Amino acid sequence: AAAGRALGARAAALHAANAVGGTYSPDAAAAGKRALRARALGFLTALDPEARAARAQFAAAGNMTERMAALALLVAHGRGEAALAEFHAAWAHDRLVVDKWFAVQAAGTPPAEAVATVGRLTRHPDFDWKNPNRFRAVIGSFAAANPAGFHAPDGSGYRLVTDWLLRLDPVNPQTTARLAATFGNWRIFDPERQRLMQAELERLAALPGLSRDTGEIVGRLLRGPGA
């Protein structure tokens, strides 16, 4: 917000000046313009509680890059409900795009609502937890890309992720092991978060029949550096 205030009207000018017309092109110049336009849109949205510029870009976007940039901002600012419904209705037939739809919510929902949102996403009819891409889009995106939500002071983010890792390990130990590594930096946090994360790692370690893949990762994390 401070950067947006400092830029003032220049943010709107940057956003308008970097619109890329015509057929979508992945070349460096066009990609750079889209990236700068997305950054300018972020500044505009930070200053507008109604997120009008993001809503306008979402409605008018002629490519997935710009539509997703706008959708991510709407989600982050708590204004994404209608856009999310519209996006899903339009792209429900495309598995890869639906993965993006899940991921943008798991990663971008404000911290106070993040755990509840991810819980709701896991109950969505399109959430196939046995599909590795879909699992990573929800649980992986939350753990890796929504740090304030994952590290909720009450430990609810840790518990949610561990609950799903316990369920996944017998089915897909490789994905479970990779996502268990999300707890890898647990020792750098404050004592209470360390305690909460250690408890979840120990809960994983105690799973009867824990896979070797996951067991190796969890054991190494619990033993600490140099183990």
106, 116, 124 from 154: Cα distances, Å? 18, 13, 25
Per-10-residue mean pLDDT of the chain, 227 residues long, equals 66 82 82 88 90 94 93 96 98 98 98 98 98 98 98 98 98 98 96 98 98 97 79
Which pLDDT value is given to residue 7?
Answer: 67
For residue 184, give the DSSP letter: G
Res 227: pLDDT: 53
- Please tell me the predicted confidence (pLDDT) of residue 24: 80
**For residues 124 and 127, what is the distance between their CA atoms, to the nearest angstrom?**
5
pTM of the entire structure? 0.90
Contact 138, 131 (CB under 8 A): no
Could you give all domains of the chain from N- to C-terminal order, each with its CATH number? 1-90 (no CATH), 92-227 (1.25.50.10)
33 sits in the region (left: phi over 0; alpha: psi -120 to 50; else beta) called: alpha
Query: Looking at residue 209, what is its pLDDT?
Result: 97
**What is the predicted pLDDT for the residue at 4?**
60
What is the separation of C-alpha 28 from the centre of its chain, rounded to a whole number of angstroms? Answer: 26
Q: Which residue shows structure tokens 């950067």?
A: 3
Cα separation, 122 vs 119, in Å, equals 5
